[in-house]
Amino acid sequence: MSDLLKSDVDLEAIIAQADEDEITLRPDEPSLPPGEWMRKNLFSTPFNSVLTIVFALGALWAYRAILNFIFSENTQWDAVRVNLRLMFTQAYPDENYTRVWVSLAIVAVLAGLSLGLSKVGRGLSLKKIATWCFGWGGLIVLGVLLREPSVKTDASGESVFADANGVELVRDDLGSLAYANGDPAPSQGLELIRESFGSAMGNRTGWWIIGLLLLAVGAAIWFGLGDFRRRNTFVPAIPFGLAGVGLLVSTTWWYGWGNYTFSEEGFTYEPGELVASSTRNPWTVVFLVLVGAYIVGRAIQRTERAGTVRAITNLSWLLAPFVTFWAVLRGPVLDWGYVASVDIPLYLLFAVGGGLILWMLTNPHIGEAGRIIAVVILAIAAFTWISAFFGWFGMLQKIRLSILFLGLAALLAPNFKGDAKQRMKLIYGWLGFITIFHVMVTLINTPSSIEVPTEDFAGGFMVSIYVSIFTMIFSFPLGVMLALARTSRLPLFRVMSTVYIESFRGVPLITMLFFFTVFVNLFLPEGMELSLFAAVVVAFVLFSAAYLAENVRGGLQAIRRGQYEASDALGLTTVQRTAFIVLPQGLRVSIPPLVGQVIATFKETSLLAIVGVFDFLRMARDVIPAQTEFLGVRKPGLLFICVVYFVGAYAMSKYSQRLEKQLGVGER
Amino acid sequence: MSINDATTAVNAELAGRDDIIVCDGVDKWYGDFQALKGVTATIKEREVVVVLGPSGSGKSTWIRCINRLEQHQGGRIIVDGVELTNDTRNIEKIRSEVGMVFQSFNLFPHLTVIDNITLAPIWVRKRPRGEAEQTARELLERVGIPEQADKFPGQLSGGQQQRVAIARALAMEPRIMLFDEPTSALDPEMIKEVLDVMKELANSGMTMMVVTHEMGFAREVADRIIFMESGEIVEVGTPEHFFTNPTEDRTKLFLSQIL
Amino acid sequence: MSDTAQQSLVAAASARPPFYRDAVVVKWLAQVVTLLLVLFALFFLASQAGDNLTAKGIKTGYDFLEVDPGINLTGTIDNEPDTGGRALWAGAVNTLRLSIGGIFIATLLGILVGVARLSSNWMVSKIASVFIEYMRNIPLLVHIILFFAILQSLDKFGDTEQVFNDDGSPALDAEGAEVFEAVQGPINGWLHVSNKGVSFPRVFPADGFYQWLVFILIGALIGNFVRKRRQAVQDSTGAETYPNGSMLGVIAVFGVIGWFLHPIFGWVGGIFGAIAELVDAIPPSLVQVVLTVLAVGFAINWIRRFLDSRRTPAGLAKLTDDDWFRMIFAGVGAMIAALFIWVIWPGGSSWLVNSGRDFFEVAADKFGDGRGSWTEDPPIDAMRPDIEQRGRFANPGPAGLNFSTGFAAVFFGIVLYTAAFIAEIVRGGILAVPKGQTEAAQAIGLRRSTMLRRVILPQAFRVSLPPLGNQYLNLTKNTSLAIAVGATDLVQVGQTIFNQSGKSLEVFSIWMLFYLACSLTISVVVNFFNVRLAIVER
């Protein structure tokens, strides 16, 4: 079906290119003087002038309305400020918070290393920085001028009212409103009094300073450099970004981000208790770790070992979600006796035994026997699963899975025969994989000492992040497999994959989420049950894999037939051809749409709110408005969520555009 | 000299050598269209055969059948004593013994030149990487571009790419090399460098089957010329016979158009 | 064939390889084994589901479609449905309303924003890009819930406000009571925006509408004739004759005349009435047979023509997976149609339009059954939204076209969200037209407007069509988010039903069928245009 809607033209790429042109072409031409620039871009024809004026007035009006809302005394930003912790980690127990900080520190180390090891791009041009300063400075100054004056307050901080005729009212001893001469105020037609324009401007000194400072910096760069060529000097972007993060972290030292505790009786607002006092130290440490890792990364980048460290870092990124997930949510209560008597022997059996089998299978002289052994192992694996369905031969689930993995590895192994060095690499891969797998399974199967209030998982933004990351990691292999099957020459594989892809793409995600959270337990055997978190991850993975498969298919179809013919003519097997020729080329072309899919998944995690997960959005929509201090206050929380999603999605889409450009340059 | 005389002469010259490719009544259809109509030919060891013919005559299809990039539907093909059937082991064996060079080079764009060349020796021939790289550098020396080893194919000129493709095929130490219009996608000034490599290869005693439009190359290097039209072999003979004294009318017409 | 060659042939005598080395056998074996494993897993899951349902004492089956679901809906075609099927249908109609209305408005808005984004005017282009980035980078659900929150925080519906005299004292009526008057919506009350939703005026076809439509039809026929004539003149003389404009002009003239003269067509209703009586006389089984034969015949004919179109001189071209899909769907569609006609025909049409009358009876009624008089209503009329007191609460009355708060939030959410994506597609489409096309058009001296109309836009449209189709699919699927704000649609009704009856799998299957049908319809429509627009290439 979706075939009908395929086109060869990649509009995203064209747009990215156009945006890139817009950014890169400009520095090379001398900038126009402001007057000429305006004449060219805003008032070129009478019609254009009218358009400019109409749109500018509209934009000013909208800007003023937004500012008025943001700074209105009726907008309770406190609802966000004091609930920040709730929105990010729900009611994660205080005594375990160290785990969150350690996880953040791990991520900071990896991020710092990756940034440090990344090849240095061109960075930011001074001209861009100046424009940026002008833009934000101008917006701030404009905002200061546009915003309506705040409500006038009296000495005790209460708002001042006036009657319908504008006569100011005062508060009597009891705090109720009255005329200055003591007459009681009318019940109808009262209005808030706002400050005069002059005193409003006077009260906004802080904003004035920031706005004018930015304008001044912009002007200093712009005019200080004079010649337009020197404005194209580039400064490295990453330190600037780090400085920005540092600025944000430093706010914990002087701004009171509030706290809402989650106690036995429910939520309690503790206005005096500031999160800043409890989090500024960890945040500062995390930031310093980030900077430190960046400096280390920079240092390594100059040495010859950069490539190795980069590879290790990338691998760690893949493992980090799992490690932090367990670090945050699992305090495993291990039964060491059981571990020593069952888990470790099993692990050693599969690690050593599997390693030996694979070593044998990759012997170049093994001949047909290799395939027969592989098929036998696969048959055993299939049998263990079938018997599981019928309840024969009870065994640990991880044994079944390990046999299955070993069977798959054995099936692929004959394609990777070679000299001892090649074979050892394969064995190392197997050992690494089986180690991670066994450790993870052992950790899952133990009870956790960490108690979170809702079901089995803490909520808030954390859940959205974990769902998106796990979806990404698990749906990728599935999607690639589906794409390979869909482009396969074998008709049954093609049909099966097409049916899967089209059924998942044809229905809305929300129905799939309902299916997996409500109906799926009907399909499972007695005693097996999917937890809510597992159910949503499974739903997201299966759904996202269908879309991912279509993106990858686009990349696979871009590979020319000659590539297949050349690899066939060289005698590569199908598996070798796929691993060495088809996937490296196909995935490279698919990277931009794959990032697009990641963004889409990130945005789709908002649907968790509908199926009963206490995510980020649910906090703003249901939880905060139910707190006694903030009854019915929704908009501030929702706007905050908008900002968080916007920052995440926008950053990723910009990154994807850059990536696309890099790939384009690397097109060889 | 009739066609039979010519063939007899050639056969006499080659009589002492073993057959390396034997095609017997090979048929190939695309849907209703018959691309090969009972092609029967024998190629001897160390022989250089040039296949000529107008486009669409089935030359490319034929040599692609020989390493089973295309499957023939009738007749038999025997390469180095092994018959091409559905047997996967035979296909593997023949693919590693028959090298092929394509019109559009078909180098792997994501691998460097050296990786392009060593890929198959390492994973198909199971050579250790060091040894394979050593061989690859020697082959690059032989095709005249040792300095390009660490570049990507996209950074090379067409002629250089085609020479890398030849080195890639040679790295498998094939007994037979197939060339499918190796110079058609090249600019005129690059054709010579590729043809020089091919001549050197022919002189070294490689069995070669070449589909080309380079008449000069055919005249100079070929032991035999096979002329095909609409899926049939029309005429077989030595270059001298073919260019100076063709017997068939269709051959004469073709030569008159092309020369 | 020389002797040595013969010897080689004999030496290499082909023995059949063992099956595990036969490429063909191995390929099929792998496929069949995988398929069997998948089928086994599905079968196992299905039998497990059966066991579990029996264990819980839940009976499966679609009988809930025909019993009273005991639910009330809001803002649908039938708020008190008497069967489960009817309730789902009411939800589905809402989904369709959202999708179809959304597609039209989002396309218009998207094109507008996309063109604005490309404008040479810095201000216009910047504002458009801020809109696009804002909409695209925030999840649709967040947009919808935010809109919902904003709508809910608006003034109360039906609020009253005290009237004051010029000097600020409260106005008093004759009896000395303070005067209050209802807060009116903007544009003199033609629009109501409040925490109960958005009410537009209801524009509806009044009694004269169908007679007027006859005028428009005649206008269209004559207009088409005029268009062809003028086109011919333009083709032969080269003079600009504005063929399309003339056609629209003719239709407009007929529309204006018809506005006043439409009652003269009242007699058309009589004809329909006569036909209706004639149809009633035909036995239903005959109708069933004829319609079934037509449906199946149509499908067979379509498949035959489709195969013909794939036939090349060298025989039948290889059919792609999609070709097979299309043919299978055509066959299945015909079968379902036939089944529908055969089984549900007697009650089916009334079930869908809830009138119990066939097309001709409806038409006879619409045309007024011969009641033509010069004082009839205008063809189209409009009603101002009104306020209705229901108990203690003021609610939108039936006169307006009412979007409930949730419905409005979903509608504006999906429209604005999709419009941002469409804008990027339009922009990409225009950018995708190679620069050489513009240069070539300028070189042959085309004016800017002609160049846009004849060269740039057609090519841009061709490129944008497939991704546009994908956006329409997404929009349709996104209407399911209505459940988050309590607006009624298929998913919401389905969820209510399975919460009450436990018929989870049945409801899920209906969802899947409905959405797959929607996807298929949209792909077929888009593909129809796609094929028509495709550049013929070698």
- Residue C77 is predicted with a pLDDT of 80
Q: Which of A138-152, A512-526, C330-344 has the highest mean pLDDT?
A: A138-152
What is d(CA C310, CA C305) in angstroms, rounded to the nearest whole number?
9
pLDDT for C350 beyond 50: no
- The bridge status of strand B176-180 relative to strand B98-101 is parallel
The H-or-E segment that residue B235 falls in is strand B232-237
pLDDT of residue A523: 79
Per-residue pLDDT tens digits for A293-341 = 999 998 888 888 888 888 899 889 988 888 888 888 777 777 788 888 8
**CB A448 within 8 Å of CB A457:** no
**Residue C291, token pair as written in the block:** 């319609």
Phi-psi region of B37 (alpha: psi -120 to 50; beta: other; left: phi over 0): beta
Of the pLDDT bands very low, low, confident and very high (cuts 50, 70, 90), residue C373 is: low
The nearest CA of chain A is from the CA of B151 a distance in Å of 10
Q: CA nearest A575 in B: which residue?
A: B123
Phi, psi for residue A55 in degrees, rounded to 5: -65, -40
* Residue of chain A with shortest Cα separation from B172: A570
- C314·B31 Cβ contact <8 A: yes
**DSSP code per residue over C204-216:** EE-TTHHHHHHHH
Question: Model confidence over A474-533: pLDDT tens digits?
Answer: 999 999 999 999 988 888 898 899 889 988 988 999 999 998 888 777 777 766 677 888
Chain C residue nearest residue A56, CA to CA:
C123
Give the residue from B47, B37, B48 showing the smallest Cα distance to B16.
B47
Distance linking the first and last C-alpha atoms of chain A: 34
In the block, tokens 């009657």 appear at A163
Distance CA B110, CA B105 (A): 14
Are the C-beta atoms of C396 and C157 separated by less than 8 Å?
Answer: yes
| CA distances (Å), origin C275, targets A208, C207, C272, C281, C363 | 80, 21, 5, 10, 10
Residues paired with C315 in a beta bridge: C312
pLDDT at residue C475, as a whole number: 94
Residue A144: pLDDT over 60:
yes
Higher pLDDT pick, B186 / A5: B186
| Smallest Cα distance from A10 to chain B, Å | 21
Neighbours of chain A (3+ CB pairs under 8 A): B, C
User: Is the Cβ pair B87, C317 closer than 8 Å?
Assistant: no
Max CA distance (Å), chain A: 109
Exposed/middle/buried for residue A667 (C-beta within 10 Å: 0-12, 13-18, 19+): exposed
CA distance A345 to A399: 12
Segment C326-331 shows an average pLDDT of 77
Q: What percent of chain C has pLDDT over 90?
A: 21
C-alpha closest to that of A434 among A322, A316, A350: A350
d(CA A495, CA C26): 18
Yes or no: say if B102 and B64 are a contact pair by the CB < 8 Å rule. Answer: no
pLDDT at residue number C478: 94
Residue C246 tokens read as 């003339």
Chain B contacts of A582, Cβ < 8 Å? none
* Angular region, C188: left φ>0, alpha ψ -120 to 50, beta rest: left
pLDDT band at residue A84 under the 50/70/90 scheme? confident
Six token digits for residue C281: 């006389």
Q: Is the pLDDT of residue A271 over 60?
A: no
Check whether A184 has a pLDDT greater than 70: yes
Token pair for C139: 């999840």
pLDDT of residue A474: 92
Q: Decide if C314 and B30 are in contact by the 8 Å CB cutoff.
A: yes
Nearest CB partner across the interface for A55, out of C124, C149, C320: C124
CA distances (Å), C118 to each of A17, A20, C393, C415, C431, in order? 14, 15, 49, 21, 9
Tokens of C224: 């088409």
Q: Are A362 and A477 in contact (CB under 8 A)?
A: no
> From B81, which residue of chain C is nearest by alpha-carbon distance?
C12
Triad C78, C80, C83: Cα angle to 5°: 90
Q: Which residues does chain B have within 8 Å of residue C315's beta carbon, measured at their own beta carbons?
A: 31-32
DSSP string, A433-455: HHHHHHHHHHHHTS-BS---SST
Angle between helices C405-432 and C122-136 (to 10 degrees): 120
Question: Which has more pLDDT, A204 or C420?
Answer: C420
Contact A457, A329 (CB under 8 A): yes
- Chain A interface includes B104 (CB < 8 A): yes
Among C239, C240, C247, C243, CA closest to C230: C243
A5/C467 touch (CB, cutoff 8 Å), yes or no = yes
Kindly state the average pLDDT of the residues C13-36. Answer: 79
Is A42 in a helix, a strand, or coil?
Answer: coil
Radius of gyration of chain C (CA): 31
Judge residue C306's burial from the number of C-beta atoms within 10 Å of its C-beta, 0-12 exposed, 13-18 middle, 19 or more buried.
middle
Separation of alpha carbons A312 and A310, rounded Å: 5
Q: Which of the four CATH numbers 1.10.3720.10, 3.40.50.2000, 1.10.8.60, 1.20.120.340 does domain A458-668 have?
A: 1.10.3720.10
A-B interface: how many C-beta pairs under 8 angstroms?
A: 79
Comparison of pLDDT for C130 and A23, the residue scoring more:
C130
B22 three-class SS: strand
Cβ of residue C314 closer than 8 Å to a chain B Cβ: yes
Q: Taking the CA atoms of chain A, what radius of gyration do you get in angstroms?
A: 31
Q: Domain ranges in chain A? A: 458-668
Least confident span in A118-132, A460-474, B67-81, C303-317: C303-317
Mutating which of A361, A426, A561, A570 best tests the B interface, going by the most B Cβ atoms within 10 A? A570
Six-digit token pair at C394?
Answer: 């003021």
Comparing CA positions, the residue from C229, C161, C195, C97 lying closest to residue C393 is C195
DSSP letter assigned to residue A43: -
Instruction: Note the ipTM here.
Output: 0.90
Token duo for residue B227: 């002329």
| CA distance linking residue A460 with residue A614, whole number of Å | 6
Q: Coil, helix or strand for C177?
A: coil
Identify any residues that bridge with A162 across adjacent strands, giving them in sequence order: A168, A191
Closest-CA residue of chain C to B76: C9
With beta carbons less than 8 A apart as the criterion, state whether C376 and C262 touch: yes
pLDDT at A1: 44
pLDDT tens digit string along A623-657? Answer: 888 887 788 888 899 999 999 999 999 999 888 87
Verify whether the Cβ–Cβ distance A566 to B129 is below 8 Å: no
Q: How far is A543 from chain C (nearest CA, A)?
A: 13
Q: Find chains touching chain B: ≥3 CB pairs under 8 Å.
A: A, C
Placement of tokens 């695209």 in the chain = C136
SS3 at position C25 = helix
**What Cα–Cα distance (Å) separates residue B253 from each residue in B246, C61, C513?**
10, 77, 64
**Structure token pair of residue B205:** 């005693």
pLDDT over threshold 60, residue C372: no
Please give the pLDDT value at position B15.
60
Is the pLDDT higher at C366 or at C537? C366
pLDDT at C137: 94
Q: What would the pLDDT profile of C514-538 be if each residue is shown by its tens digit?
A: 998 888 888 888 877 877 776 655 4
Six-digit token pair at C455? 């060269």
CB atoms within 10 A of CB C279: 14
Task: Let me know: does B191 contact B183? Beta carbons within 8 Å.
Answer: yes
CA distance A585 to A563: 10
In whole angstroms, give the CA distance from residue C100 to residue C94.
10
Q: Which two tokens stand for residue C70?
A: 């005991």
* Helix H or strand E encompassing B209: strand B207-211
HSE-up (13 A, CA, CB side) for residue A320: 20
pTM of the model: 0.84
Whether the CB of B256 is below 8 Å from some CB of chain C: the reply is no
Q: Which residues make beta-bridge pairs with B99?
A: B177
Sign of CA dihedral C19, C22, C28, C34: positive
Task: Give the SS3 label for residue B52.
Answer: strand
The answer to whether the CB atoms of B126 and A364 lie below 8 A apart is yes
Question: Looking at this protein, which amino acid is placed at residue B228?
Answer: M
Closest CA to A568 of C212, B92, B126: B92
Give the strand pairing for C192-194 and C197-205: antiparallel
- For residue A497, with 0-12 CB atoms within 10 Å meaning exposed, 13-18 middle and 19 or more buried, which class applies? buried
What is the count of residue pairs from A and C with beta carbons less than 8 Å apart? 214
Q: C-alpha dihedral over C506, C507, C512, C515, to 10 degrees?
A: 150
At C383, the amino acid letter reads M
Write a three-state SS string for A451-489: CCCCCCCCCEHHHHHHHHHHHHHHHHHHHHHHHHHHCCC
Å between B164 CA and nearest CA of chain C: 31
- Which range, A384-393, A403-412, B163-172, is most confident? B163-172
Count of residues making up chain A: 668
pLDDT at A232: 64
